[in-house]
Amino acid sequence: MEKVKIALLGLGNVGSGVWKIFNTNKNEVSRRSGCEVEIAKVLVRDKFKQRKVDVPPDMLTTNPDDIFKDESIKIVAELIGGIDPAKEYILRAMRSKKHVVTANKMLLATSGEELFKTAEEEDVYFYYEASVGGGIPIIREINESLTANKIMEIVGILNGTTNYILSKMSKEHMDFKAALDEAKEKGYAEADPTSDIEGYDPVYKLAIIASLSFGAKITVDDIYREGITKITPLDIKYACKFGYTIKLLSIGKVCPDGIELRVHPTMIPKAHPLSNVNDSFNAIYINGNAVGELMLYGKGAGDLPTGSAVVSDIISILRNNGSQYICTSLKNHMPHKKIKPLKENISQYYIRLSVIDMPGVLGEISTILGRNNVSILTVTQDVKSKHDVSLIFITHEAKEGDMQKSIDNIKKLTCINKVESIIRIENFNE
């Protein structure tokens, strides 16, 4: 059996998972790849740091040259994350004629074009299944399994941290802060959770899968982004009352007037399969014009699930040696397509206002909404005191721009204490 040497860049969470898998599943890896894979070197910043896995000390190195200048190393797995030095390392690896596997969503979403161009020039493989959805094989699904389809819609729960927080808030009636603290405690949220809770992480992921699904250059700037920090237990309570669950969805849709791209908290019907995706699980719902509705569900993060994607990519490279995968390259050669401006999006809305109880309040608000073509489906009133009445509107479908204009005007009314929340509702009816 052919022996192949590989190297890992980084030995954090994902790196440790990859190490464990190669050790635990040695037989599966050989059977599936037809090769005996040896991890020859692991690049780390500190050779003496305490690790979760027992890597022989002579395998660790702090010098990238030990990897890039070693011609016997055929594949490099970049598991450092972030832009710097990950990008430089990937480019160096490619220019040293090494195939590259990465889990780096941020780098792919922001520098994908350059990386794929280099991979093509150097004629090396560049695989990235682990960059979106952890262990869920969404990249291969789009790039290989659904190639017969025009993908019309892709809707994902792509961030495990926020899904954990929202699940806790829904099921245990916690507030955001308490749920975030618990997520940190359990290792689901990082010390600085901004990238997750403000929705940057799912934006990177959506940029990658939307680009592949729709065959278009899509950058992070094309995607509307809104995090979950403003979601309150009260909104969750009302969502439940109206038959909805609140999820942080990443939405990409092909519309006649352009591609819709947005990441924001969304109310979805309790009966929809995405509504039952709880805790740190991820799921991706796809609608293809041949395959119809399809959903993938699994662990979107964690050392072993993400490692599963990295190691499977390495096996694919070993197995496909000699063949060329076209179309798996991100953005490179992809055309720009029209992105639909957010204000053109059509959606139902949940609007919660705090108002002062005085005659004509509902009339004034309804008039403004009506004048802006936003028609009301239901109104619910909840009186806390004469000076603080909650008014909850569910609208019919309306244009985002019209809704925003209404809100701007509603804010100016003297009876309004505050516009507490605006949450989009997705009903998935075609």
Q: Within 189-228, which residues bind its own copies (CB under 8 A)? A: 215
| Site membership for its own copies, residue 308 (CB under 8 A) | yes
269 binds its own copies (CB under 8 A): no
Residue number, 85 or 258, with CB nearest to its own copies: 258
Cα–Cα–Cα angle for 90, 91, 97, rounded to 5 degrees: 95
CA 213 to chain centre: 14
Out of 46, 71, 293, 408, the only residue in the binding site for its own copies (CB under 8 A) is 293
**Environment class of 325 (CB within 10 Å of its CB; exposed 0-12, middle 13-18, buried 19+):** middle
Phi, psi of 291 (to 5 degrees): -75, -20
**Binding pattern for the stretch 20-59 against its own copies, x by CB under 8 A and - elsewhere:** -x--xx--xx-xxxx-------------------------
Kindly report the backbone phi and psi dihedral angles of residue 43, in degrees, each rounded to the nearest multiple of 5, phi listed first. -85, 125
For helices 200-214 and 105-122, angle between their N-to-C axes, nearest 10 degrees: 40
Return the range that interacts with its own copies (CB under 8 A); candidates 43-51, 297-305, 349-357, 394-402: 297-305
Name the one range near its own copies by CB under 8 A: 138-146, 180-188, 223-231, 387-395. 138-146
User: H or E stretch including 288?
Assistant: strand 281-288
Q: Other CB atoms closer than 10 Å to residue 362's CB: what's the count? A: 16
Nearer to its own copies, 15 or 307 (CB): 307
> Alpha-carbon distance 422 to 360, whole Å?
22
- Segment 146 to 165, residues that bind its own copies, using CB under 8 A: 146-150
Binding piece for its own copies, criterion CB under 8 A, among 90-98, 288-296, 397-405, 409-417 = 288-296
Q: Is 409 in the site for its own copies (CB under 8 A)?
A: no
Q: With respect to its own copies, which residue has the nearer C-beta, 231 or 254?
A: 254
Q: Which of 63, 172, 243, 291 binds its own copies (CB under 8 A)?
A: 291
Q: Which is nearer to its own copies, 285 or 393 (CB)?
A: 285
Q: Which two tokens stand for residue 51?
A: 């690790």
- Per the annotation, the verdict on 205 as an active-site residue is yes
Give the number of C-alpha atoms closer than 13 A to the C-alpha of residue 223, restricted to the C-beta side: 30
Relative orientation angle of helices 233-241 and 160-172, to the nearest 10 degrees: 70
Q: Which residues are catalytic?
A: 205
Residues lying near its own copies in the complex (CB under 8 A) are found at 17, 21, 24-25, 28-29, 31-34, 129, 135-137, 140-141, 144-150, 215, 273, 276, 288-299, 302, 304-305, 307-312, 314-316, 319-327
